[in-house]
């Protein structure tokens, strides 16, 4: 049984209140349109997005209010997830309703972690998205936002120090173009000075790439849209590494 089999019995807390009404309405709309009854996989995806955008609203709000920059970041994440139009509307509605919800983000963390069976690739994408929201305003986060991210790290059973390493530069938020022409940015992505030796650069690359477990990202049990943010990290690391190797005429 894959991790979708855990969907039954999860999300009971989320199904209460206004957010639960949105979820119920979405499922009901599918039935009204005479579509097949949603599978466990579809239900699990729906719950995952509900958890994520519910938590996203609370992370954004945790620094005293939700800014236009934070809203733009949420919209950017939605686009990167490549959601369908109906799922995009659903996600935005969850975000709007959750801004005023009194439901604790700890429930979002707990129930989502149980839903995905503490899968670390999904956890990386889930908390990575929240981290981007918490740092989108000139890379600053409130102490409350940091504490919430650390709480999420614990609920998802991620390695101790993960969030701390992200704040130290371990999470890549700057995009790299396909040809990777910005060499300086490539060094920033790997977290090393431009004068570093190839041994130092290779060591930094291997440490960062191993933390993402790229082999696990390709598991057939994991839908790509749920781990898109983690996959982006792998792509950027690989592009930066290949660009630097090419500039230095280095081969393994």
CATH 1.10.287 segments of the chain: 172-252
The answer to whether 58 and 18 are in contact (CB under 8 A) is no
> What was the pLDDT predicted at 2?
52
> What was the pLDDT predicted at 126?
94
> What was the pLDDT predicted at 8?
46
Give the span between the Cα atoms of 227 and 213, in whole angstroms: 12
> What was the pLDDT predicted at 92?
93
pLDDT digits (tens, 9 = 90+) for 24-59: 666 655 544 555 555 667 777 888 899 999 999 999
> What was the pLDDT predicted at 121?
82
Confidence of residue 4 (pLDDT cuts 50, 70, 90): low
Rounded percentage of the chain residues whose pLDDT exceeds 70? 74
Q: Which has more pLDDT, 113 or 215?
A: 113
Mean pLDDT of 14-22: 61
| pLDDT of 212 strictly over 80 | no
Q: Which has more pLDDT, 165 or 13?
A: 165
The helices-and-strands tally (H runs, E runs) of the chain is: 11, 0
| pLDDT of 19 strictly over 60 | yes
Mean pLDDT of 103-113: 91
Question: Which of 46-55, 63-72, 189-198, 224-233 has the least mean pLDDT?
Answer: 224-233
pLDDT digits (tens, 9 = 90+) for 149-196: 999 999 999 988 889 988 887 787 766 555 545 788 888 888 888 889
b/e sequence 196-234, b meaning 16+ C-beta within 10 Å: beeeebbebbeebbebbebeebeeeebeebbbbbbbbbb
Please name the fold of domain 172-252: Helix Hairpins (1.10.287)
Start-to-end CA distance of the chain, whole Å, equals 40
Mean pLDDT of 77-99: 89
* Average predicted confidence (pLDDT) for the chain: 80
Give the closest residue to 26 by CA, choosing from 51, 5, 13, 43: 43
């Amino acid at each position: 049984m894959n991790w979708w089999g855990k969907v039954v019995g999860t999300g009971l807390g989320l199904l209460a209140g206004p957010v639960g009404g949105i979820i119920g309405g979405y499922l009901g709309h599918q039935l009204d349109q005479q579509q097949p009854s949603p599978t466990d996989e579809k239900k699990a995806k729906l719950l995952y997005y509900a958890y994520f955008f519910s938590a996203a609203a609370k992370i954004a709000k945790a620094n005293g209010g939700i800014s236009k920059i934070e809203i733009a970041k949420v919209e950017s994440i939605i686009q990167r997830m490549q959601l369908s139009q109906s799922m995009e509307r659903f996600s935005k509605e969850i975000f709007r309703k959750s801004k005023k919800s009194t439901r604790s983000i700890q429930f979002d963390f707990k129930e989502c972690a149980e839903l995905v069976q503490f899968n670390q690739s999904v956890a990386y994408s889930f908390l990575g998205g929240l981290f981007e929201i918490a740092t989108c305003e000139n890379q600053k986060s409130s102490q409350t936002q940091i504490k919430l991210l650390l709480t999420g790290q614990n609920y998802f059973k991620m390695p101790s120090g993960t969030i701390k390493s992200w704040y130290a530069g371990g999470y890549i938020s700057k995009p790299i173009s396909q040809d990777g022409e910005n060499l300086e940015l490539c060094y920033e992505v790997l977290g090393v000075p431009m004068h570093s030796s190839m041994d130092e650069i290779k060591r930094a690359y291997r440490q960062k790439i191993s933390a993402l477990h790229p082999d696990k990202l390709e598991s057939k049990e994991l839908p790509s849209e749920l781990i898109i943010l983690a996959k982006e990290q792998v792509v950027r690391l690989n592009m930066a590494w290949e660009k630097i190797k090419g500039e230095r005429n280095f081969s393994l």
